[in-house]
Chain A
């Protein structure tokens, strides 16, 4: 097997070492639970429903990078592309619970759902109120008629931002859950890959793609998308992707959205800006306003090259929570 170059030490240690480095960059705001791949706030916010995020590693800064003021309270980190185990999830839930209960934001994959289900049952057995909301924003992963089969990708960031703010401002668990689900239901995303990332432990590329090929709709673990074709110019590619994303919700004239142009790992900011330029042209043509734009590394897939586009449609309520100032290693908005 071809050796893949990576800047790592022992491949077995990539997850805890990356966590240590993230914590070192958090200005003292984050800490790790000793011996476990669990990251929590150094100073927990009292008297609020805790927001737990997490999933497989390899998507940095998802998930632990989004722990912070008015964002998530803790992250359960699994191995690369593998959901955390139930004991890690239980530890995270226990660490962020301060009596008001815990809301898990779970990317909608079989492994994450199963492990969060078991971890949550274990926490409930210890008397903690636990609920979960599945994130399923990837329009390329299943048709709208099977929306609960859809995978969760970069739109996760918007859901974390709204849920974090709602949990900070609202006391009622039902209300926090309702607002989070509302955000989830208004997010749509889609990615495209031009080359694969590789798993540190075995060096295996997560998919095979010809030198001049791209895959539209590729998932963040290399899951197949909707079409494989020859590389086309950025404007044409973005136009195709936006047509699918916009038609799905659908986003309509007069809507206001938050926009995320997300790097899947190895794509340059220059390319992302070229993508963003075309997105804004399309949104303007369609009469859709942009309330906020994020461009950069938010939900990556190791060193996969490519990007994803996420849109969240806002109403007055979602806008109120989205606009709450946040501070975290991966996202600061004042």
Chain B
């Protein structure tokens, strides 16, 4: 069934589904980070989304921004390292565009990605081409702008594919940020773990919406 939008409760369930699937992606992310970083990205994300699951389970929400803020705060205060700060900032930044809203639509998706992207760029002082999660997030945010009239599931599919292509392109980039920076040219050929996580998050959102 094609869903135009998600209710507040369904949106919360979507983030719960994302949390479950991100926890299940621990090994994949660990392996991706072992070749390019210090191998702790999988542990960190699993820890962060475990905290997200607990927080979402425990709280009642009256608007989308509350859900998003809760996810961001849980990630930021549980992961540590650059991932916690950046992925926490992504959700907290996204929350700012959703104030008072109660239905998750293609338009809400687009403004949320844009707002999250802006916050991440300011906090991380990163730009496209630096081999970071921005290289997956920015194409997704841009692609989502052309999808405002689509069903939510279709818009998410487009954004996810854009994120996947952006993530693939990080293989051709030399890391200039974070711990992978130390590798320099040796980071070539491997995708950025943060970009992989960004693609996965969007992918799991899509899976949830398509399954609704």
Contact = CB atoms under 8 A, between A and B. Distances in A.
Interface in A204-240: 204, 206, 219, 221-224
A199 B82 contact: no
A141 interface: yes
B177 interface: yes
B38 A81 contact: yes
Interface of A is mostly: loop
B208 to A, nearest CB: 27
Nearest to B84: A85
Residue with the greatest number of chain B CB neighbours at <10 A, chosen from A84, A114, A219, A223: A114
A201 B181 contact: no
Given A82-B44, A110-B179, A202 B39 contact: yes
Contacts of B82: 83, 109-111, 114
B38 A114 contact: no
B76 A86 contact: yes
A98 interface: no
Interface string A187-203: 00000000000010110
Interface in A73-87: 78-87
Contacts of A221: 38, 179
Contacts of B85: 86, 111, 114-115, 117-118
Contacts of B83: 111
A152 interface: no
B80 interface: yes
A222 B33 CA distance: 13
A81 B80 CA distance: 9
A160 to B, nearest CB: 21
A78 B43 CA distance: 14
Contacts of B183: 223-224
Contacts of A79: 80
A49 B124 CA distance: 28
A65 interface: no
Contacts of B24: none
A56 interface: yes
Interface string B30-62: 100010001110011000000000000000000
B78 interface: yes
Nearest to A114: B85
Contacts of A223: 38, 179, 182-183
A172 B89 CA distance: 34
Contact of A85 (B80, B86, B124): B80
B75 to A, nearest CB: 9
A85 B181 contact: no
A224 B76 contact: no
10 contacts: A81-B38, A85-B78, A86-B77, A111-B85, A114-B86, A117-B123, A118-B76, A118-B89, A199-B43, A224-B182
- Nearest 8 A-B pairs (CB), nearest first? A114-B85, A111-B81, A223-B182, A82-B80, A111-B82, A82-B81, A110-B82, A110-B178
